Structure 1
Amino acid sequence: MSYQLSAVVIGCGFVAGGYDQEPIPGVIQTHAMAYQTSSDVTLMAVADADSKKAESFAKRWDVAEVYDDVQEMLTVVQPDLVSICSPDETHEDYLRLCLATPSVMGVWCEKPLSLLPKGCEALVEAFQKAGKVLLVNFQRNFTPAYKALKSDLVSGAYGEIQKVVVHYTKGIIHNGSHAMDLLIDWFGVPDDLRVLSAKVDYKVTDPTVDALLMFDAMPVYFLGFNENDYSIFELHVYTETSILSLTESGQILRIRKVKDKSTASGHKELERLSDQNMGLDMAMLDALNSLVDAVKDRGSLVDGKRALAGLKITHQLAEMGMKRIECES
């Protein structure tokens, strides 16, 4: 099926278009730049409660129509695709508006689906029942390099996985959710959760926790660090033959593999292979292409279920962390 899709953007902040205000060649960081680059989609309109911000956005991205009311925009424009880039607390309401708009075939929503998991399950099911695509923008899962890594891990290309360690800051929900989405995509939903310690470096309701999660017999450790000291997001996979480290916020995959020959004393050593760029510079376009493919081909419906599962787990960990802080204070 080949035809042009129409799109609108709700919210005109940084991830909508601001990060690409002064574009960097070969880098796409926003919804607007992804739409502008795509040959499959035309960005028709934008909406923001701040009309001056919306007008400035429309001028920068050559968008014809500007609204300060989302319902009016959806009714008048009748878009095929909707990007939700508004504040977190508005996401659930705007998802419901998209669900009620007959023309909307796909929604590209920034995380989270909602501030609370309650009510989201019915919403995700409603999208699936209506045949509408719901893509939550955990970008890493959409790049070819991350898809290849998942295939290698699941197929056992590096041998049996012994454990995974995640390093992160700034809240188990806010930043830990990025790692959680990857882990659920790779290994499914964990069957046991334990919080080992907790601190507040972001929000009281979103502590940064040290936690142990069990995926069958495989342990995954979340180690939280203080955002006030430095920012970090790394994920390390330890297998029987290799250590695979996603560093620099997941931009780089660094692989260390057991050498073919042991040392004179019989010890096995790791040798560092060449680093691999994971393609995050183009992840926004990869995400949009995934949305377009799902809308046009209907081959594999993106339904938001993984994002919902991650939302539930990170909220459960946050609640456990808050209780631990309360008990220790």
Structure 2
Amino acid sequence: MILNVAVIGLGNISLLYDDKKETQTVLSHVKALYKNKNFTLKYCVDIDTTNKIKVEEFFPTVSFYTDISIIENNNDIDIVVLATPTSTHFEIFEKLKKNKNIQYFLIEKPLFDRKHTLDFFDKSIEKKLIINYIRVFEPNIQEFQKQIDTLLFGEPQKIIGTYTKGIKNNGSHFISLINFLFNNPKIHDIKILSSQKGIENDLTLDIMAIVEYKEKQIPFYLIGLDESKYSVFDIDFYFEKAKVRIEDTAKTLTIKKATQDTIYSDYTTLVDTKKVLLDFDNIMKYPYEYVYNILHKNTFQIDFVEHERKNIEFYKHLEQKEFNNE
């Protein structure tokens, strides 16, 4: 059975990041739907019709509307993709929550702004929510999560990440990734060490936090850099028996295992053991594979609402901290 999809909001992530049929990448929702035979784009809704022609190049029969109320009660919608500004999410959910035919909502992060929190959200559709923190869907990162859980590399020792472009804009991907990999760890302490300009009002912060995983407290450092020099998104995980590095620019996950030095026998050094290419050029195809597999009970279901609660908790801790230069 082909699943009917309604895309609400037709900007960068929905279309413009990858709006050419002939390219081999999959970096937008429309391109991902076009490449997956299990889905079809039934409806598009956007107040701006500028991109209507581009969408029709992928799906000539798509119905395009500027008002969501036209489709809110349609019984032929299986999946809703919500890619509008965060401030509009709550209002859209209020319009669509009574439509029992919708099986899942695939939502661009974050779920809500400060005004509309999870406390005001209708609990009846929580299990239908899939929040598109895209790295958690990548198969090699999911495999890494299993390796952490089974302590394949020993107990975690420290986590160090570097990023640019704001603690909420890009830093949120770090927080989400940590919550996914370490099963929503408990936060014991957060300190803001320094701050610099990010994007608009979103500061790029240096942060030190303590998180708890399997009854062990782990220092977590998040280092913000000046985006005017270059963009960066890297994270190093130090374990008892290995170091694992995820590097966005190189699109790699590198494992270095602790090995006795061949010359100096008293030393143990880290040696490259495995380098995996992360499929970030096709990253948008994986949320749809996840949706399809969930519907056919072929994979475990991620608790995205609890995941988002932990993300929000992290930011609440940040807001409560005074600036600390010590």
Q: Assess same fold via TM > 0.5.
A: yes
1:189 counterpart residue number: 185
Q: Answer whether contact 1:11 1:47 (CA < 8 A) is retained.
A: yes
In the other structure, the counterpart of 2:252 is: 252
Contact persistence 2:32–2:284 (CA under 8 A): yes
Q: Give the Cα–Cα distance (whole angstroms) in 1 for the partners of residues 238 and 123 of structure 2.
A: 36
Q: Equivalents in 2 of 1:145, 1:201: separation in Å?
A: 30
Q: Secondary structure at the match of 2:162?
A: strand
Inter-partner Cα distance in structure 2 for 1:172 and 1:89: 18
Indicate the residue corresponding to 1:309 in structure 2. Answer: 309
Structure 2 equivalent of residue 46 of structure 1: 44
User: 2: distance between equivalents of 1:314 and 1:46?
Assistant: 34
Long gaps (5+) in structure 2: none
TM-score by length of 1: 0.87
- Match of 1:199, as an amino acid? Q
Matched, 1:286 2:283: no
1:189 and 1:264 mapped to 2: Cα distance?
38
Q: Residues 159-238 of structure 1: matches in 2 within 5 Å?
A: 159-187=154-182, 188-192=184-188, 193-204=190-201, 206-216=202-212, 217-238=217-238
TM-score scaled by length of structure 2: 0.88
Aligned residue for 1:157, secondary structure, equals coil
**Deviation digits for residues 80-99 of structure 1, max 9, x if unmatched?**
11111122222222233232
State the 1:121 CA deviation.
3.6
Instruction: Give the Cα separation in 2 of the matches to 1:117 and 1:234.
Output: 31
Q: Distance in 1 between matches of 2:154 and 2:269?
A: 16
Distance 2:90 2:249 in 1: 28
Residue 240 (str. 1) matches residue 236 (str. 2): no
- Provide the rounded CA distance (Å) in 1 between the counterparts of 2:98 and 2:225: 42
1:89 and 2:87 are equivalent in the alignment? yes
* SS class of match (1:174): helix
In the TM superposition, residue 75 of structure 1 has moved relative to its aligned partner by 2.9
Amino acid at match of 2:47: A
Query: Contact 1:28 / 1:281 at 8 angstroms: preserved in 2?
Result: yes
Q: 1:43 corresponds to which letter in structure 2? A: L
In structure 2, give the amino acid aligned to 1:62: P
Shift of 1:242: 1.7
User: 2:309 and 2:276 mapped to 1: Cα distance?
Assistant: 29
CA–CA distance in structure 2, aligned partners of residues 284 and 257 of structure 1: 31
Q: Which amino acid aligns with 2:205?
A: V
Q: 2:30·2:58 contact (CA, 8 Å) conserved in 1? A: no
Q: Secondary structure at the match of 1:165?
A: strand
2:114 counterpart residue number: 116
> Could you say which residue in structure 2 is the equivalent of 1:155?
150
Kindly indicate whether the alpha-carbon contact (under 8 Å) linking 2:245 and 2:255 is maintained by their aligned counterparts in 1.
Answer: yes
For 1:158 and 1:237, locate their aligned partners in 2 and report how far apart those are by CA, in whole Å: 10
Unaligned 5+ runs, structure 1: none
**C-alpha RMSD of the superposition:** 2.6
The 3-state SS of whatever aligns with 1:100 is coil
- 1:178 shift after superposition: 0.9
Deviations 1:87-145 (A, max 9, x none): 222222223323222221111111111122752244263313xxx52111111111221
SS at match of 2:124: helix
Change (3 A) 1:96 1:300: farther
Q: Which residue of 1 aligns with 2:323?
A: 324
Q: For residues 7-26 of structure 1, what are the alpha-carbon distances to aligned partners after superposition, in whole Å with 9 as ceiling and x for unaligned?
A: 11011112112122125654
Matched position secondary structure for 1:291: helix
* Matched pairs, number: 320
Q: In 2 relative to 1, CA 173–58 (structure 1 residues): closer, same or farther, beyond 3 Å?
A: same
Please state how far the C-alpha of 1:153 moved relative to its aligned partner. 1.5
Aligned position for 1:28: 26
Tell me how far 1:77 sits from its aligned partner: 6.3
Higher RCO (C-alpha 8 Å, min separation 6): 1
Cα deviation for residue 35 of structure 1 reads 1.2
User: Is the 1:235–1:250 contact (alpha carbons within 8 Å) kept by the matching residues of 2?
Assistant: no
SS in 2 for 1:57: helix
Seen in structure 2, the aligned counterparts of structure 1 residues 245 and 218 have a Cα distance that, compared at 3 Å, is: same
CA distance in structure 1 between the partners assigned to 2:248 and 2:297 by the alignment: 34
Do the aligned partners of residues 299 and 134 (structure 1) sit closer, same or farther apart at CA in structure 2, a change above 3 Å counting? same
8 Å CA contact 1:202–1:227 kept in 2: the answer is no
SS in 2 for 1:29: coil
Hey, what's the Cα distance between the residues in 2 that align with 1:224 and 1:7? 37
Q: Percent identity, please.
A: 22
* Change beyond 3 A, Cα 1:301–1:254: closer
Deviation at 1:319, TM superposition (A): 2.5
C-alpha distance in structure 1 between counterparts of 2:104 and 2:250, whole Å = 27
